[in-house]
């Protein structure tokens, strides 16, 4: 299946970001904690060169807790400021202001030396579609925020949000990039719902998801669909079990694999299957399969 999806509005949005980057002190990048590497747009590294950086592992409530810790350590070791957040419940958001100050310490110091007082930090908020950017901005800005309207040098219609005297945010549309590095990246983006479902084949995607779940999250599958999963069960066997457990049949009692596939993918996306991380960092650490949030068998992502 070809996962590539880069509609024209994304090219336009990228151009808008490039035009505004000179006004920016800090890049706040949201990624999905279930696929922290696959959900990073490589164009952002280019765009954010020489800027302070803050990486937010959003939807951390849907990802494996042990994996969240590993990813946090992984990105911190690479010089990024990192926070696990849940934009929906607001968890983790309170720590952001302090981290923003820390990330922009040099700029604040520079301003102070030049006698510039109270110039707010300007941050651009970026992330792929469906990563939770709107939810984040709404929760973080809360009711206190006011849209600041147009700024000098900013194209009309850009959305600046003034949080307080210290911080202004520039909201941007969710964008992907023209060519994914690998099939796995495309698949991961499809699984979390960042690629338009209309171009996807759900049974193939569900098959891929089941492969991952059988390798690392078998007990969750068994519990959700109330079934024993024999050691040698194939992806097709499990999909057939789901059809049976959820009564997905076409006329004539024929299993409706498509319906079961959609159901499985929805259960994964919403967290009803449990906390699942689809990729792990290659940080040379042994996996502990006996620990809670077992991540045995999940791909370790090759990066850099
Ligand atoms: P976007 O602007 O980046 O495209 O994403 P948006 O905020 O619209 O969020 C996409 C979906 O992800 C929404 O669910 C939202 O509620 C959910 N979401 C965002 N952040 C989190 C989080 O930290 N944890 C969890 N569990 N979910 C999060 P939806 O189903 O489209 O809407 P709704 O039913 O929640 O209203």
The rounded distance, in Å, linking the Cα atoms of 97 and 115 is: 23
Q: Domain holding 138: CATH number?
A: 3.40.50.300
My answer on whether 119 and 224 are in the same domain is no
Place of tokens 């030396």: 113
Place of tokens 């492969």: 211
My answer on whether 237 and 107 are in the same domain is no
My answer on whether 96 and 228 are in the same domain is no
C-beta of residue 301 within 8 angstroms of C-beta of residue 281: yes
CA angle 50, 56, 60 (to 5 degrees): 160
Place of tokens 């090219």: 11
The per-residue pLDDT for 302 is 53
The per-residue pLDDT for 154 is 39
Determine the structural domain holding residue 259 and report its residue range: 201-288
- For atom 16 of ligand 1, the residue with the nearest CA is 88
* Residue 144 pLDDT exceeds 70: no
133 or 147, which is more confident: 133
My answer on whether 155 and 205 are in the same domain is no
Could you identify the atom of ligand 1 that is nearest to the CA of residue 128? 3
* Residue 92 pLDDT exceeds 90: yes
Q: At what angle do helices 257-270 and 235-245 cross, to 10 degrees?
A: 90
Chain-centroid distance, C-alpha 251: 39
My answer on whether 45 and 116 are in the same domain is yes
Could you tell me if the CB of 173 is within 6 A of ligand 1? no
My answer on whether 207 and 280 are in the same domain is yes
My answer on whether 16 and 159 are in the same domain is yes
Dmax (CA) for the chain in angstroms is 79
Could you tell me if the CB of 59 is within 6 A of ligand 1? yes
Could you tell me if the CB of 58 is within 6 A of ligand 1? yes
223 or 297, which is more confident: 223
DSSP secondary structure letters along 109-151: HHHHHTT--SPPEEEEEEE-TTSSHHHHHHHHHGGG-EE----
Q: What is the count of structural domains for the chain?
A: 2
Among the candidates 120, 149, 171, a domain finishes at 171
- For atom 15 of ligand 1, the residue with the nearest CA is 132
* Residue 188 pLDDT exceeds 80: yes
What average pLDDT score do residues 202-207 get? 96
What average pLDDT score do residues 127-153 get? 73
Whether residue 300 is contained in a domain is answered as no
Ligand 1 center to residue 82 CA distance, Å? 20
pLDDT band with cut points at 50, 70 and 90 for residue 142:
confident
Whether residue 209 is contained in a domain is answered as yes
C-beta of residue 293 within 8 angstroms of C-beta of residue 66: yes
Whether residue 145 is contained in a domain is answered as yes
* Residue 155 pLDDT exceeds 70: no
Which of 86, 60, 85, 87 has its CA nearest to residue 141?
87
49-91 pLDDT tens trace: 989 999 999 999 999 999 999 999 999 999 999 999 999 999 9
Whether residue 188 is contained in a domain is answered as no
213-235 pLDDT tens trace: 999 999 999 999 988 888 999 99
* Residue 285 pLDDT exceeds 50: no
Best residue among 59, 62, 129, 135 to mutate for probing ligand 1, ranked by most atoms within 8 Å of CB: 135
* Residue 150 pLDDT exceeds 90: no
245 or 285, which is more confident: 245
Beta strand 52-58 pairing with 26-32:
parallel
* β-pair partners for 54: 28, 81
What average pLDDT score do residues 23-47 get? 96
Which of 86, 30, 87, 34 has its CA nearest to residue 64?
34
Whether residue 277 is contained in a domain is answered as yes
Whether residue 279 is contained in a domain is answered as yes
pLDDT band with cut points at 50, 70 and 90 for residue 121:
very high
Whether residue 87 is contained in a domain is answered as yes
My answer on whether 89 and 149 are in the same domain is yes
26-32, strands of its sheet edge to edge: 81-84, 52-58, 26-32, 121-127, 167-171, 160-162, 146-147
The rounded distance, in Å, linking the Cα atoms of 243 and 272 is: 17
The per-residue pLDDT for 282 is 83
Among the candidates 132, 150, 171, a domain finishes at 171
My answer on whether 274 and 216 are in the same domain is yes
The per-residue pLDDT for 76 is 96
Q: What is the pTM of this model?
A: 0.89
My answer on whether 232 and 134 are in the same domain is no
Whether residue 32 is contained in a domain is answered as yes
What percentage of residues in the chain have a pLDDT greater than 90?
75
Which of 163, 53, 164, 29 has its CA nearest to residue 104?
53
My answer on whether 123 and 242 are in the same domain is no
The per-residue pLDDT for 297 is 53
My answer on whether 209 and 274 are in the same domain is yes
* Residue 300 pLDDT exceeds 90: no
The per-residue pLDDT for 37 is 97
Q: Domain holding 235: CATH number?
A: 1.10.1580.10
């Amino acid at each position: 299946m070809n996962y590539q999806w880069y509609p024209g509005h994304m090219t336009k949005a990228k151009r808008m970001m490039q035009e505004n980057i000179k006004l920016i002190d800090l890049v706040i990048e949201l990624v999905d904690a279930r696929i922290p590497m696959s959900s990073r747009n490589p164009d952002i590294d280019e765009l954010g060169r020489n800027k302070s950086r803050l990486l937010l592992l959003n939807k951390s409530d849907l990802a494996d807790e042990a994996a969240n810790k590993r990813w946090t350590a992984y990105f911190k070791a690479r010089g990024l400021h990192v926070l696990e957040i849940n934009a929906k419940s607001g968890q983790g958001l309170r720590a952001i202001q302090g981290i923003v100050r820390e990330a922009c310490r040099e700029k604040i110091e520079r301003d102070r030396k030049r006698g510039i007082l109270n110039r707010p930090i300007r941050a651009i908020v970026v992330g792929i579609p469906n990563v939770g950017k709107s939810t984040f901005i709404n929760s973080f800005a809360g009711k206190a925020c006011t849209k600041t309207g147009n700024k000098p040098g900013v194209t009309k219609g850009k959305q600046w949000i003034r949080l307080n005297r210290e911080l202004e945010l520039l909201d941007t549309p969710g964008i992907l990039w023209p060519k994914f590095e690998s099939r796995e990246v495309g698949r991961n983006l499809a699984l979390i719902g960042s690629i338009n479902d209309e171009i996807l084949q759900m049974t193939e995607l569900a098959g891929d998801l089941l492969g991952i779940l059988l390798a690392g999250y078998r007990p969750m599958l068994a519990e959700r669909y109330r079934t024993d999963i024999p050691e040698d069960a194939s992806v097709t066997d499990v999909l057939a079990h789901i059809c049976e457990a959820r009564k997905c049949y076409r006329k004539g009692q024929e299993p409706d694999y498509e319906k079961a596939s959609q159901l499985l993918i929805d259960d994964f996306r919403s967290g009803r299957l449990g906390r699942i991380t689809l990729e792990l960092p290659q940080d040379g650490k042994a996996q502990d399969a006996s620990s809670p949030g077992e991540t045995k068998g999940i791909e370790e992502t090759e990066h850099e």
